[in-house]
Structure formats: structure tokens, C-alpha cells
Structure 1
């Protein structure tokens, strides 16, 4: 098997593993507190850090399995395949979660987000009229969370763009060229 095909195969393997981990973490978080990821910045940051770490470990493992060296392009290809699998899985998971598993989630999450935003604005000293005006400008949060075609497509696009940037960064960090070796020839003498 050539190196490119091996990278593709390993990327698919790790992509599906990370997608399964993603769904398990998301379902666990949902059953602990359905609105936690919408209202707790630290939970969102924690999940992000875990996934960056898992992507790095996957990249290092793929690089080891193909011989320990790869170019930026090969690394980027691997991360892009993994990212595409993660984006598709996340989009499908969120659609299924909000349409079938917990159809009330958009309303619950919107209410929790609004409550958290109102509390934060109040801490900054804004009055009720200013808070109401800011909330009106923000728009209907429940409408933004509903799993419509537009929202699902937008979510997928944002995921692909975000993962694309992360893929570029990780490929730049994890590329590794083979060491340069010099052949020395015995001199005749």
C-alpha cells in the first residue's frame, strides 16, 4: 500500500474513533445537564482542549504508523479527513439530538442562554431597559438553535471552517522531515 492510501486509511480509522468519542462525550454531557455546554464557558473550553489533545495524539499515531515522517501536505490531508468525519458526525448528531432525542432542547437552551446573558449584563451594571434592548438585538435564540436546514447547513460550514484552521495549525506543528543523511564514499588512495 502506498503512503497516501495508508494515510487515508489511518485517517478514516482515527476519524471514526474520534467521532464515536465525540458522541459519547456529548451524550454524557447532555444527560448530566442538557444546557451545560450552552451556558458554561469552562465546559466548552474543556471539551475543546480534550479534542485538540485527541487530534494531536491521532496525528502522532498516524505519523508513527507511516514510518515517523510526513510532509505538511500529508499531515494536512490526514487532519482534513478526520475533521470532515467529525464535522459530519457533529452535524448529524446535533440534528438527531434536537429533532428526535430531545426536541425541547432548543427552547431549554435558549432560555438558559438568555438567563445567563441577562445575569452577565446585570453584573456589568446594565439596567433592565439596556438588557432588554441588547437581548432584542441578539435576536431569537431558540430560532437560531432549531435544527432547520439553514441552521444545520450553517453549523456544518462553521465546523468545516474551524476544523480547517485547526488542521492547518496541527499539520504545521506535526510535520516531520526525515533526517538528512550524507553518504561518505571511501577515497582511493
Structure 2
């Protein structure tokens, strides 16, 4: 009889796969048009793909362990896979923003700032009527997100988001063996 993998062991390969797929998408978008990396639809496509792949690999793992999985096992599997994937993505972004194209960070920061300004206008706030110091502070905080410390801090906050998403995925992936109920 083959020994079953723990959720941690089982999540390594899917985490690596998802991380490499997201990294490939990031670099493909960068080579096509670097401003795609700052677009909302690219982020939405990445998130949907992320969810689909985690659910796919989670169902594969559930089948591998006998067709049933507790919430805790599903949560652990999902969370570990996302953390591994996130670490690969972080390393890829550090490589992209600090080695391959250091000027990309300022381009994306400017794009994000312009998006913030257009959103403010849509909600009725005229950016021209705002204090220039506040606008400059907003621009600086947007740029800070692309620094090495900003990326590391973002990953730290991302762990909280990963945990919340893993809770949702744990609820989706769990499957109770009804034959054990009596």
C-alpha cells in the first residue's frame, strides 16, 4: 500500500506549478507590453487562473487520498500551495523590477497613480482641488510598493490574504465521507 502524502508534501508540486505559470504570464505580459502588468483585467485573469489551478490541484489531491478531505487538510493544502506560488512570484518580481528592468517600477507606479486619480474623478473628487502635498504623498506611497522593502511587505500582507482565500478554498475542496455518519 502506498503511503499518502501530507498536505504540505502534496502542495509543493502544485505550488511550484502555479508559481511558474504566474511567473510565465507576468514575463509574457512584460514582453508584449509592460503596461499590461498594471492593468485591472490582467490582474483579474491572473486571479481567476490562480483559483482554477488551486481547485484543480486540490481535487486531484482529494482523489489521490481516497476521495474525501477534511476542511483542515484542504485549508493546509491550499495555503501551502499559495505560499510557495507567492514566493516564486515574489522572486520573479524582484528579478523583473530590480535586475531586468529597474525603470519598470516607476512606469507602473505612475500608471497606478493615474488610475487612482481617474477613480477619484469618477467618485466626484477633483484631484486638482486637492493639496499638492497630499497628491505627492499618494504618488510616493504608490512608488514605495515597487521597492524591495515594499514588495516584501506586500508579500507579508499577502500571507493574510492567502489565509483568507485558503479558508474559502478549504470550504470548496472539503468532502466528508457520509458513510462514517451513523
Bin of the TM-score, shorter chain as denominator length: 0.7 to 0.9
CA apart distance, 1:127: 5.3
The CA distance in 1 between the partners of 2:70 and 2:180, in whole Å, is 17
Which residue of 2 is the match for residue 146 of structure 1? 147
Which residue of 2 is the match for residue 21 of structure 1? 21
The CA distance in 2 between the partners of 1:65 and 1:108, in whole Å, is 45
Q: Quickly say closer, same or farther: Cα 1:121–1:132, change in 2 above 3 A.
A: farther
CA apart distance, 1:55: 0.9
Which structure's CA Rg is the greater one? 1
The alignment partner of 1:180 has SS state of helix
The CA distance in 2 between the partners of 1:156 and 1:109, in whole Å, is 18
Which residue of 2 is the match for residue 31 of structure 1? 31
The alignment partner of 1:67 has SS state of coil
Q: How many residues end up aligned between the 2 structures?
A: 179
Q: Quickly say closer, same or farther: Cα 1:119–1:177, change in 2 above 3 A.
A: closer
Q: In the alignment, is the contact (CA less than 8 A) between 1:91 and 1:155 conserved in 2? A: no
Q: In the alignment, is the contact (CA less than 8 A) between 1:87 and 1:156 conserved in 2? A: yes
> What TM-score comes out, normalization by structure 1 length?
0.83
In structure 2, stretches of 5+ residues that fail to align are none
The CA distance in 1 between the partners of 2:80 and 2:176, in whole Å, is 21
The CA distance in 2 between the partners of 1:24 and 1:97, in whole Å, is 12
CA apart distance, 1:67: 1.2
- Per-residue displacement from partner, 1:83-125 (whole Å, max 9, x unpaired)? 1201211211111111111111111112222233333434536
The CA distance in 1 between the partners of 2:72 and 2:27, in whole Å, is 34
In structure 1, stretches of 5+ residues that fail to align are 184-189
Deviation larger for 135-144 or 95-104: 135-144
